[in-house]
Amino acid sequence: MSPLFEILYKSESVSPNVVSVELENILKISRLNNSKRNITGMLMYFRGEFIQILEGDEDQVSKVFSTVIKNDPRHSNVRLIAEGPIAHRSFSDWSMGFVGDEAIQSRVSVSTSALMMDLLSQEAKSSPQTPGVTHFVKTYNQMRRFPIR
Ligand SMILES: Cc1cc2nc3c(=O)[nH]c(=O)nc-3n(C[C@H](O)[C@H](O)[C@H](O)COP(=O)(O)O)c2cc1C
């Protein structure tokens, strides 16, 4: 077993508005595959952008990110925000939690939500030790009460 590791990245969906059936497919296969690989995490989709955090054994997480997810034609411009070793999982009971437009918009005003993806990734980048994700987790803890599972 390799050490626990996390990866946070951002990407753009290829279709401008990912329809729910596409998201359902992504989530379904992610949950299935992640359970087998003991990977946990959360996927957010908002206004054409994805932010995803993956956590698990380093071998598994790195492999699935760089060989599978990165090459998925349903998104492009995949940018790593943060990666690094972690002491414990933050999403241990989610093979892939999901927060989408509706869940986000119901919690924040429209103007706030428009900036959210950018702010989130900038802030994650500027927190060097806490592999980005601490902030991601903190901010979205408020929203995770309403994940679409
Ligand atoms: C934004 C996004 C996030 C994804 N996240 C995961 C994931 O967490 N785990 C996973 O196995 N596949 C994920 N996928 C899907 C993979 O890219 C790929 O389609 C899938 O793993 C292929 O599975 P299969 O070989 O069993 O058909 C994601 C795809 C997209 C577009």
Evaluate whether residue 147 is within a structural domain: no
* Domain-embedded: residue 8: yes
Give nearest CA residue, ligand 1 atom 13: 30
Would you state the pLDDT for residue 14? 86
SS3 state of residue 40 = strand
Domain carrying residue 131 = 4-141
Please count the structural domains in the chain: 1
Indicate whether 131 belongs to any domain.
yes
The predicted pLDDT at position 57 comes to 97
Per-residue pLDDT, 107:
57
Tens of pLDDT, residue by residue over 97-134, are 777 766 555 555 544 544 555 556 565 555 544 444 56
Nearest to 81 by CA among 124, 45, 50: 124
* Residue 134 confidence (pLDDT): 60
Q: Is 43 in the pocket of ligand 1 (CB under 6 A)?
A: yes
Write out the E strands in 14-72. Answer: 40-46, 49-57
* Cβ pair 116, 39 in contact under 8 A: no
Query: What's the 109 CA to ligand 1 centre distance in angstroms?
Result: 31
Report in angstroms the alpha-carbon separations of 9 from 25, 29, 43, 69, 113. 20, 19, 10, 10, 19
Is 78 within a domain? yes
Q: What is the pLDDT of residues 36-83, one digit of tens each?
A: 999 998 888 877 888 898 999 999 999 999 999 999 999 999 998 888
